[in-house]
Structure 1
């Protein structure tokens, strides 16, 4: 996939996104869950801080004040990457196969008494 790389901190997870995919959906496709609720930029449950890079919004009011935007705050549900990004999102969780690995071992390692 062409596009941009997103680095999620503090976990260090990386995923790729395209300019036409909101960050929240790109993360989900990569097996990463980020907090979300409304998915239209109003509830702010996905609010996180971009440390480097550029994003754009395709809605008139993305739910982030201009002073917050200047400090790097973004809403991944409606933010689109315009470059490679570094985003601080401590609430993100791995939901792909890597996250299920300990449970899988537990199930396959179970023994009858």
Structure 2
């Protein structure tokens, strides 16, 4: 994904990365399915001119996507800049690491 996941900026969101891979994978699959179903409900509500329900389902879809993506991230960069740890997934070219030549874009 080419975006900074806001959930990974929260301590509780980062705890998702502490779950073992065998627990994260099924949760990620369910959340991706939830995203698809919520998108379908949003479209159905929109076609019925039910704007508030369409917005609700679109928000559910977005949250499910962010959670699924957080579960798919293997680890964060973790480098520190001015005493703050980088919260971008490794290899996502964080500005501080890239500016000093530390981040080669290698996802390993």
Q: What's the TM-score bracket when you normalise by the shorter of the two chains?
A: under 0.3
Structure number with higher strand proportion: 1
The one of the two structures with greater contact order (alpha-carbon pairs below 8 A, sep at least 6) is: 1
Structure number with higher helix proportion: 2
TM-score of the pair, normalised by structure 2: 0.24
